[in-house]
Amino acid sequence: MLRLLLCLLAVSSVYTVEYPAGVTRSIPCVGTPGETMDLFIPKSYLTNTDQLFPILFISGPGGTPRTMNMNSWAERNNVILASINNSKNGPSEPIIASQEAVIKTVNEQLRIHPVLRFAMGFSGAGQASWLMTNRHKDEMAGLLMIGQSGFDLQFPNHIPVAFLYGKQEPNKSGIESKMKKLLAAKNPLHHKIIEGGHIPGTPADRAELLDWILAQARIHHPGLSDNEKSTYRQSVLTDITAFIADKNWTDACQKANAFLCVPLAAKSPEGKEIAAALIHASFESAKAQTNLASSYLQLCQLSSSPYISSNKRIKKEVKSLMKDMKKKKKELKKVEKDFKAYQSLKKTADANTNSPAKMKKVQTYAEGFIDKSPNSPLVPLMKELIAQCS
């Protein structure tokens, strides 16, 4: 906390380099000839001049990773992006030198938060990001590994780690082994499996996992003050309220779900309001669906939500609407039956994470369901279940 206070006091006097909003390429690093970085600066950095900003360090296996098309995500979340241009696959000494040059430069030139620092890398650059996180474990707050497993170096268990990899990823067994170790160490853990092999995924894939990492860090990182955590929770509620005002049900639901999946967040003073907002947005989203089966599935999910009991009006309306919809379409009975089967499978998977045989059984059923009913609205849920069991 003393370190954070000193950083805040120094904000107005130490940082003399002014970068424009957007991307600036090939910036020379301080005191290290030949080392460069690229930066993305969100617009809020120029207006909120008394604020310390989160930063995401990006590495690429061939060097010069640019920003991996994460500018929109960074703008939305008020995060600085810093690409480590000279870090690439090879001996560890040059990689470490490049990383330290960039860290030194952003520390001296930018208003960087002392603990909200994250790393992301694809393939061998994921390994480099793992090493960087381990060396600076007291300052780092999260890591996104893409197509790689990392090393046998443990982080403090407040650091969340997410993995993104393809179904045919050659490093899949190593990734899954590492996830088990992180789970045993009680690190917050998330993963997403996508179609393909050794690939970096899409910006949307990466954004989904980075959203989760950022929420985890900003809610329970021990280096944050109570006031910082409270301010973040309030900002999430403000964003969700704005989405609902704009009838942007999708973003409202995504933001609320990302927040509520963190146990400490759900129990926070803002958690109750955000849960209520989620129920409202989910109900409106279901009503706005033009496909009757998709709308009915959303209502099924909503009716089983742990948060709906606090809103008796919507609970009653959901039940009534589902009853009316079933009268109109016989196909909805199949949707309801399939959803109940999904719930049973999900319950089995959640309760048997240490039983490969039972997880395989759930995975096989879900894969068979997709083969038989490729157009069912439950396919996305079954794919999530497959990813969980993989």
Q: What is the C-alpha to C-alpha distance for residues 338 and 341, in angstroms, rounded to an integer?
A: 5
Q: What is the C-alpha to C-alpha distance for residues 322 and 264, in angstroms, rounded to an integer?
A: 33
| Rounded mean pLDDT, 330-357 | 85
CB 61 within 8 A of CB 123: yes
> Is residue 357 in a domain?
yes
Residues 38 and 77 in one domain: yes
| Rounded mean pLDDT, 231-247 | 93
What pLDDT band is residue 17 in, cutting at 50, 70 and 90? Answer: confident
| Domain final residue pick, 159, 192, 220 | 220
Residues 39 and 170 in one domain: yes
% the chain with pLDDT above 90: 62
Q: What is the C-alpha to C-alpha distance for residues 24 and 84, in angstroms, rounded to an integer?
A: 13
Angle between helix axes 331-351 and 292-303 (nearest 10 degrees) is: 40
Structure token digits, residue 105: 């430069």
Alpha helix (H) ranges present in the chain?
2-14, 43-47, 71-77, 92-109, 124-135, 172-184, 203-220, 226-245, 249-260, 263-266, 271-288, 292-303, 312-328, 331-351, 356-372, 379-389
What pLDDT band is residue 16 in, cutting at 50, 70 and 90? Answer: low
| Domain final residue pick, 191, 220, 249 | 220
**Domain hosting residue 20, numbered range:** 2-220
Q: Please choose, from the candidates 143, 138, 136, 137, the residue with its C-alpha nearest in 3D space to the C-alpha of residue 58.
A: 143
pLDDT in tens, 259-305: 888 877 888 889 999 999 999 999 999 988 888 888 888 899 999 89
Report the CATH number at residue 310.
1.25.40.10
- pLDDT score at 14: 57
- pLDDT score at 11: 46
- Reduce the DSSP state of residue 179 to 3 states and report it: helix
Torsion of CA 242, 116, 90, 101, to 10 degrees: 120
Residues 276 and 361 in one domain: no
Residues 169 and 64 in one domain: yes
Residues 18 and 158 in one domain: yes
Q: Looking up tokens 């082994």, which residue turns up?
A: 177
